[in-house]
Amino acid sequence: MKSEEEKLGDPGDQIFYHYTSQRGLLGIIKEKKIWATNIRYLNDEREFDYGIDEVLRVLKNGHPDSREDLSETVKSLLKREDPVPVFVVSFSSDGGDELSQWRGYCQEGSGFSIGFEPEKLKELAQKQNFTIEPCVYKKSDQEAKIRAVIPSADEATIGGAASEADEEPFDLDSYLKKTGKERLHLLFDVSSLAPVLKHPKFKEEKEWRLISKDPVICKNRLRFREANSMIVPYIEFDLSMGNESIPIKKIVIGPTPHKELSKVSLEDFLSANEIGNCEVRVTEIPYRYW
């Protein structure tokens, strides 16, 4: 039997749900696009920094000289204003009908969770220089992923300790010269990794993320939208790539005082926009705010 972590990493027949507002739903269906937001502008301003902090924590276990060098590089280039912009879209494999999600991400009375086909999303991601990955909540799994992209976090892999064969001391200058050209790749790897490292307390969200991989392309496609307290940068992720249909399988209508009428109007809207074979249902949660 698979563990919870293994299930999270393998979507199988699951649907990826994107919780959004009424306005968000209308835009996604009509434009056939979804907005990928710069991760530094999400509701939780500590999201990206949490991942970076975990990288720095793992680096502390490396060779004293190399770890200090890499730690300073990560700190200076990833924790300042926005040197490596990363854009993300959040999905959940939680079934699309969780009270905490309705409360956290949808306006009262106008929330929806849109269910997408994982395999189709992955195909679209590959074509647009994105990757789609499950968030990692368990500390040991987070450390394993970090070590996979930063082998120098383990002194045995960088030659940091004296080799038993030749007993040569670690030469920091040679190390820096050898890895200088790879440093930019390291930063890109870290910036792509940080978005999937989330605090264990968020495990119930079962989150998957679309993550941008090419900062140059992102810069050329940059757009801006208004938010409550600032202008937020984002880029568009195409859900059709020239095809007539978009990979939506289900839509759940969140808590609302007009359940049946909301269902009828949504089905009419989908039909008008030629979205077929999409199951529409109303939340089963007896939550009332009105």
Q: What is the DSSP string of 217-282?
A: HHHHT-EEEE-SSSEEEEEEEESSTT-S---EEEEEE-S-S-HHHHHHHHHHHHHHTT--S-EEEE
pTM equals 0.82
Helix (H) or strand (E) holding 179: helix 172-179
Most confident of 42-56, 149-163, 172-186, 251-265: 251-265
Residue 218, by phi and psi: left (phi above 0), alpha (psi -120 to 50) or beta? alpha
What does the pLDDT read at residue 116?
97
Query: Could you list the residue range(s) of the whole structural domain that residue 62 is in?
Result: 4-282
Tell me, yes or no, whether 290 lies in a domain.
no
**Is residue 162 over pLDDT 90?**
no
What is the rounded average pLDDT of the residues 189-194? 84
Lowest mean pLDDT among 114-118, 128-132, 184-188: 184-188
Tell me, yes or no, whether 57 lies in a domain.
yes
Mean pLDDT value across the chain: 82
How many separate domains does the chain show? 1
What is the rounded average pLDDT of the residues 36-51? 85
More confident call, 66 vs 202: 202
**Is residue 139 over pLDDT 70?**
yes
Bridge partner residues of 237 (DSSP): 34
Tell me, yes or no, whether 163 lies in a domain.
yes
What is the rounded average pLDDT of the residues 41-51? 82
What does the pLDDT read at residue 1?
47
Tell me, yes or no, whether 216 lies in a domain.
yes
SS3 93: coil
What distance in Å separates the CA atoms of residue 99 and residue 101, rounded to the nearest whole number?
Answer: 5
Cβ atoms 136, 145 nearer than 8 A: yes
Tell me, yes or no, whether 289 lies in a domain.
no
Helix (H) or strand (E) holding 43: none
